[in-house]
Amino acid sequence: MKQWTQGWLSYSPKKDCGNNKFLKKISFQGFDKESVILQNAIKELEIGIAGMLSVKTEVTFEEQLETGIQIVKNNEIHSEGYNIEEKEGILTLQASDERGMLYGIYALLRQISMEKSLTDIKIAEQPGSPFRMYNHWDNMDGSIERGYSGKSFFFVKEEVVVNERTRDYCRLVASVGINAVVINNVNVVGPATYLITDRYLEKVKEMTDLFSGFGIKLFLSLNFAATIELGGPNSADPLDPEVIKWWEQKIGEVYAKIPNLGGFLVKADSEGRPGPFTYGRTQADGANMLADIIKPYGGIIIWRCFVYNCQQDWRDYKTDRARAAYDNFIKMDGDYHDNVILQIKNGPMDFQVREPISPLLGGLKKTNQMLEVQVAQEYTGHQIDVCYLIPMFKEILEFKTYCAKEHDTIADIISGRTLGNINTGFAAVINTGNDKNWTGNDLAGANFYGFGRLAYNMKLTAEEIAEEWIRQAFSNDTEVVEKVLKILMESRATYEKYTTPLGIGWMVTPHVHYGPSIDGYEYSRWGTYHRADHLGMGVDRSDKGTGYAQQYYEPNAAMYNSMETCPEELLLFFHHVPYTYTLKSGKTLIQHIYDTHFEGVEEVEAMMASWATLKGRVNEEIFTVVTERFNKQLANAKEWRDQVNTYFYRKSGIADEKERMIY
Amino acid sequence: MKQWTQGWLSYSPKKDCGNNKFLKKISFQGFDKESVILQNAIKELEIGIAGMLSVKTEVTFEEQLETGIQIVKNNEIHSEGYNIEEKEGILTLQASDERGMLYGIYALLRQISMEKSLTDIKIAEQPGSPFRMYNHWDNMDGSIERGYSGKSFFFVKEEVVVNERTRDYCRLVASVGINAVVINNVNVVGPATYLITDRYLEKVKEMTDLFSGFGIKLFLSLNFAATIELGGPNSADPLDPEVIKWWEQKIGEVYAKIPNLGGFLVKADSEGRPGPFTYGRTQADGANMLADIIKPYGGIIIWRCFVYNCQQDWRDYKTDRARAAYDNFIKMDGDYHDNVILQIKNGPMDFQVREPISPLLGGLKKTNQMLEVQVAQEYTGHQIDVCYLIPMFKEILEFKTYCAKEHDTIADIISGRTLGNINTGFAAVINTGNDKNWTGNDLAGANFYGFGRLAYNMKLTAEEIAEEWIRQAFSNDTEVVEKVLKILMESRATYEKYTTPLGIGWMVTPHVHYGPSIDGYEYSRWGTYHRADHLGMGVDRSDKGTGYAQQYYEPNAAMYNSMETCPEELLLFFHHVPYTYTLKSGKTLIQHIYDTHFEGVEEVEAMMASWATLKGRVNEEIFTVVTERFNKQLANAKEWRDQVNTYFYRKSGIADEKERMIY
């Protein structure tokens, strides 16, 4: 008995739906029989079909079928994409490469799992972005930075672990179309620096090879000061010939051992990490040095843009952390080499429940860009509170930047449509750990699943993704599907209601980032302020304030610049607003704060009540885990409600119109 | 070369002042030649005199002198006291016991060190309290809870350490009249529970014997649940015969090995520590059980009264942590056995820079009481900021409780004058560590020294004690004495000015307790609130509020109960006061807050300027260490000033009359 679940690949018995007839014979045509991906695909088909429909499948090669499934190589299909079509008893799956074939097979299994008929099926999918990536923030001591699902399953006691769970991880990851994974924390400290040395390379190679069998490129986070820490030159200056020589040799060694390594992710000059700034060099100098060395091996350097001054003085109203990524990177647009990708957080701050889109995305016009989101719920409830994030990611993808006449959305940029480039992507700091259910709260599995699906197919709606996941991971029972779907789809709005209002963000317990502390970051060095006084709150980022709004293209810049046209959900991000300001709802700002905070708690109570009716309809263990988390979420929501309402009542002196309890 | 200083016992060369003539011959009369205390006293005399005056002393026994010092046993002198008198070339020191003799010899050395003439000297001192105690919060891993002077010198890597520094510690401690020391943290966890087992007893005995040679009783903090943790009965119920039997055997074992052990200090049922409440028993049940068992060995049980609900809901305005010690202990007054002493913190909260006196002191009329203060600067600047605490301790001692017609001050209570008891005392959580200078900031040495001196002689003024210390530890240079004295004497008022106003307390960074966080504890479970809103601030503890003021005897109760008669320095502790309330100074509360916070920073600047003029006049190392700390103190004071002023300006909307910078 495995000590972990199979998530959405549990392959429990399903209704036939007329699908059995296709499954008795499956023929592969045109693919290399010896390929590991193919072998893995066949294994998946066999266990999936056996588990769900109790059909014994015969797999053949190069044979025309009368009835059944033909899996055919067709070079006209988009790389990593697939077509599925049923005609007269024969279901044909076409792909131009093994990844596409594998994804297509998972798509077939998904249909069966969701109890959809394969008869008359017609699906064509192709990836939304070349690099679809999970970033794990796992440390080698087994801890996970911002991890809420137990310990690492990649690292235990400073050793790299490759076992049966790693394989199941690959299956889950490949099944949703993820093709790249960074296994270690971007903050590379201690033994993690040694991942590129003999101490660990053998084991990293083993993991890389396992990943490759599922079409996944393994990446490592790199310590920019590895030269110094690994006993090379006592410098990390990217223009120092000794440093360059050291990296040439080091990367040569690594690729000699692991030719299928994807490349490296680097967090430099940020929050105390070393980087090129230390040596008076640019971020481009740093990234290009590594990129040039890794290029002959086909490797990629992913360079994070999370660079800001984390020693700000709260008294300083001029400096604006929101401006930092753009200010630090825009000047070097065009300087980055082809195999460098800048990885840019979705918002200008740090994964708050509501932020505007980073103006650096699309601001850069000559640079490869990768969008980074956070599936790990650092600021969105620690996988205690339910917060289905795919609707937020959809909003991000659909944001119109006006960086070009057409194809100017974030989805366009990271698909390569905007700039016609191929090194682009979509990365998520992922939410897994060695908890039995992988994600702490089972409901957070929807984000683990959903990010991959969305990155692969950006046209899917958040509802479609959620329904797919519920049917596969929980049940096809209509009541379960409808109720869980409603919970997921409302969850982010609910979380936002009881936490920080109208885009202001933060107000969380420092360091921990769970639970309220309204002034917790108000007098800190982190650049994260709400500036609330007795009259109003919010940060003026208009042209009269920090000027952040001017980092956008028009008409976005003008829209954000004015309190009247600024989208209200971001009002306090862009403007300092009186408590008595009337919103479009007709409510004052302060009344809006009170109302949403009372509503937020009521909505959690309603979710809990809805969930409670599912006892007996979902797996007992899932029911219990989720119920326990809901109890904690309710306590958290009440604490937020009471602290926020009390704080702003005490500060504004304006009473709640409805005279509810404020302390 | 020792890796630590000798503090006020440095015995550097001094002016003769006509003292040499007394020092050539010293005769002991009536004391046991073999006594270790006597041997230690002689050694101290020899090194002290040699160091300060380069005189070679001849020590004799039972000889009448023509000129010199006679140290004579005289049973009429108060226990632990001494008389010193010079007549016609003979200086006579009389004491009835060895401690008194030792203290008298330190008094002689002090005179010499302070360059005071011994001619015509006439001093008689006797201890202000039977138990004069340092409590160390040292953990066995070497850390010190609330320690700001390095690591423990009692414990290193879970071993007990007895070495040359331990001996120097004893000399410092005995020189100021301390006669009891608890070596380990009141929060007894991990290996510290095993201090009463064979693993450590041999080493504890060695330390106890060393201490005894300086008249110091060694005490241990006890884990009330040691029964369970050391493999005895699975209960700590003080009325369970199995538990009692286990303790009888355990304490028997301990005293068989260490007959001169002082006894035990216990923190029970507090902040997560186990205690009698767990078993439905009273604090008296717990204390008496141990006291009865330890009685045949002459041991003492010191029982801390720091018992309160540390899971308070901030929304709860009725529960008042300030009431807790009194409410928890007053009912059992008279139930405690003779060799139990209740150790009561000076204030009802927790060592804030300003608190009223705990009403439990004197509230108890049939119970042995020990006053506990904190010399370790947990809430008073971490031995970075200078804060000479003796003036505060003087205020505490002089507080008139009205618990009796006469002898009703705190000093009376802990001297035994009020109740006619002998098991009373004065304890300080002390501020030492293995820093070279023992106390982090050299200026904090004044508190280390001063507490002992004050406990021994409560009639000394804070100025007298400070001057004694400065002359011995720094210099007899008048400019040094005057300037450092001024710095010390003003330091607490200055610290209070830039931190929390008018007795409200807290507003510190949670856990750390250094630096401001105005709302840091406002929405917490710790019962420590300022209740500031847009109109005013403070906690109503009058009969219309939590009723805490009623725990005092009249007329104190009435005085605190009314906003008009309440001492203004405690106004916000007892009352919720509008920002516009006019203080006796004619200023409004809010203007008082602004003014004191600007003044506090100015005063720190003035202290620094004064200190800077002492370069070359005090030891270079001391000058540097203190200067560095002053720089940090100034930054801290500015941060407090700006956060407090900004917070209350933002909340009240009332501008500073003087239009100074508020953010």
Say which CATH number the domain at A604 has. Answer: 3.90.1330.10
> Do B120 and B150 sit in the same domain of this protein?
no
Chain A residues within 8 A of B636 when measuring between CB atoms = none
Q: Say if residue B334 is in the same domain as residue B440.
A: yes
* A638: exposed, middle or buried (Cβ count in 10 Å: 0-12, 13-18, 19+): middle
Cβ–Cβ < 8 Å for B384, B440: yes
pLDDT at B657: 98
pLDDT at A53: 94
Read off the pLDDT of residues A134-173 as tens digits, 9 standing for 90 and up: 999 999 999 999 999 999 999 999 999 999 999 999 999 9
Asked about B271 being catalytic, the answer comes back as yes
CB pair distance less than 8 Å for B651 and A533: yes
**A403 shares its domain with A529:** no
* Domain end residue (candidates: A76, A99, A125): A125
The number of C-alpha atoms within 13 Å of B579 and in the hemisphere containing its C-beta is 21
| Domain stops at, among B69, B98, B125 | B125
Q: Would you call A617 exposed, middle or buried from its count of C-beta atoms within 10 A (0-12, 13-18, 19+)?
A: middle
Asked if the structure places residue A244 within a domain, the reply is yes
Query: Residue A309 pLDDT more than 90?
Result: no
Inter-chain Cβ pairs, chain A and chain B, closer than 8 A: 52
CB contact at 8 A, B391 and B462:
yes
Token representation of residue B564: 């008009």
B532 touches chain A (CB under 8 A): yes
Residues pairing with B429 in the sheet: B135, B374
Question: How far is Cα A313 from Cα B335, in angstroms, rounded to an integer?
Answer: 56
State pLDDT tens for residues B483-535: 999 999 999 999 999 999 999 999 999 999 999 999 999 999 999 999 999 99
**Rg from Cα positions in chain B:** 25
First to last CA, chain B: 51
Answer yes or no: do B188 and B332 share one domain.
yes
**In this structure, are B20 and B157 located in the same domain?**
no
Say how far apart CA B299 and CA B263 lie, in whole Å.
5
Residue B342: the pLDDT is 98
- Of the residues B509, B519, B524, B580, the best mutation for testing chain A's interface (the one with the most A CB atoms within 10 Å of its CB) is B519
pLDDT of residue B651: 97
Instruction: Give the integer Cα–Cα distance in Å for A70 and A73.
Output: 10
Judge if A449 and A466 occupy the same domain: yes
**How far, in Å, CA of B235 to CA of B229, rounded?**
10
Burial class (CB in 10 A: 0-12, 13-18, 19+), B58: exposed
Distance CA A356, CA A325 (A): 13
Query: Is residue B346 situated within a structural domain?
Result: yes
Cβ neighbours of B663 in A, within 8 Å: 314-315, 317
Average pLDDT, chain A: 97
For the CA atoms of B231, B232, B234, B238, what is the dihedral angle to 10 degrees? -140
pLDDT at B483: 98
List Cα–Cα distances, B476 to B4, B7, B64, B454, B658, in angstroms. 22, 15, 34, 21, 42
Chain A CB within 8 Å of residue B512 CB: no
A512 vs B contacts (CB less than 8 Å): none
d(CA A556, CA A572): 16
Angle, helices A164-175 vs A198-212, to 10°: value is: 50
Residue A300's beta-bridge partner residues?
A: A263
Judge whether B646 is closer than 8 Å to chain A, CB to CB. Answer: yes
* Residues B614/B483, Cβ–Cβ less than 8 Å: yes
The per-residue pLDDT for A54 is 85
Q: What does the alpha-carbon distance between residue A531 and residue A515 come to, in Å, rounded to a whole number?
A: 20
> How far, in Å, are A80, B535, B541 from residue B576 at the CA level?
69, 10, 9
Residue at A449 is within a domain: yes
CB–CB of A267/A306 below 8 Å? yes
Burial (Cβ within 10 Å: 0-12, 13-18, ≥19) of residue B296: exposed
Domain co-membership, A95 together with A163: no
pLDDT at B273: 82
Give the mean pLDDT of A86-104: 97
Peptide bond into A555 cis (omega under 30): yes
Q: Cα(A396)–Cα(A346) distance, rounded to whole angstroms?
A: 7
CA pair distance B90, B70, nearest whole angstrom: 7
| Preferred mutation among B313, B534, B647 to probe A, highest tally of A CBs within 10 A | B534
Percentage of residues in chain A having pLDDT higher than 90? 97
Contact A130, A108 (CB under 8 A): no
CB B166 within 8 A of CB B175: no
Q: Decide if B535 touches A, using CB distance below 8 A.
A: yes
Cα A52–chain centre separation: 30
Q: For residue B227, tell me if it sits in a domain.
A: no
Annotated active-site residue B533? The verdict is no
Give the C-alpha separation, B414 to B410, whole Å: 6
Residue of A nearest to B534 (CA): A651
Catalytic residue of the set B58, B271, B479, B533: B271
Q: Is residue B179 part of a domain?
A: yes
Its pTM stands at 0.92
Is A534 within 8 Å of B315 when comparing Cβ atoms?
A: no
> Is it the case that residue A310 has pLDDT exceeding 90?
no
Calculate the CA dihedral of residues B436, B438, B440, B442 and round it to 10 degrees: -90
Could you tell me which of B369, B356, B298 has the C-alpha nearest to residue B329? Answer: B369
Q: What is the pLDDT of residue A7?
A: 97
The Cα angle at residue B461 between residues B459 and B464, in degrees rounded to 5: 120
pLDDT tens for A555-613 read 999 999 999 999 999 999 999 999 999 999 999 999 999 999 999 999 999 999 999 99
- B68 and B189, same domain (yes or no): no
Task: Tell which of B125, B158, B188 closes a domain.
Answer: B125
* Chain B CB contacts of A650 below 8 Å: 532-534, 651
Instruction: Determine, yes or no, domain membership for A659.
Output: no
Please indicate if any CB of chain A lies within 8 Å of the CB of B509: no
CA dihedral A123, A128, A131, A137 (to 10 degrees): -100
Query: What amino acid positions of A are annotated as catalytic residues?
Result: 271, 350, 378
Q: Which helix (H) or strand (E) holds A635?
A: helix A620-652
Q: B568 at the A interface (CB within 8 A)?
A: no
Euclidean distance between CA atoms A400 and B347, whole angstroms:
62
Confidence of residue A329 (pLDDT cuts 50, 70, 90): very high
CATH number at residue B189: 3.20.20.80
> What domain count does chain B have?
3
B52 shares its domain with B162 = no
**B89 lies in a domain?**
yes
The answer to whether the CB of B506 falls within 8 A of the CB of B352 is yes
Confidence grade of residue A79 (pLDDT, cut at 50, 70, 90): very high
Low-confidence ranges of chain B (pLDDT < 70): none
Report residue B617 as tokens: 């006049």
pLDDT at residue A597 in the model: 98
Contact between B517 and A523 using a beta-carbon 8 Å cutoff? yes
Q: Write the pLDDT tens digit of every residue in A166-219.
A: 999 999 999 999 999 999 999 999 999 999 999 999 999 999 999 999 999 999
What token pair was written down for A415? 């698909």
Q: Is A536 on the interface with B (CB under 8 A)?
A: no
Query: Does the beta carbon of A650 lie under 8 angstroms from any beta carbon of chain B?
Result: yes
Q: Which residue type does A91 have?
A: L
Q: Are residues B508 and B648 in the same domain?
A: yes
Domain membership of residue B137 (yes or no) is: yes
The residues, any chain, with a CB within 8 Å of residue B566's CB and separated by 6 or more, are: B559, B560, B574, B575
Q: What is the pLDDT of residue A65?
A: 84
* Range(s) of the domain holding residue A534: 497-539+576-652
For residue A304, CA distances in Å to A266, A273, A368, A374 come to 6, 12, 12, 14
Three-state DSSP class for residue B274: coil
- Answer yes or no: do B365 and B260 share one domain: yes
Same domain, yes or no: B404 and B502 = no
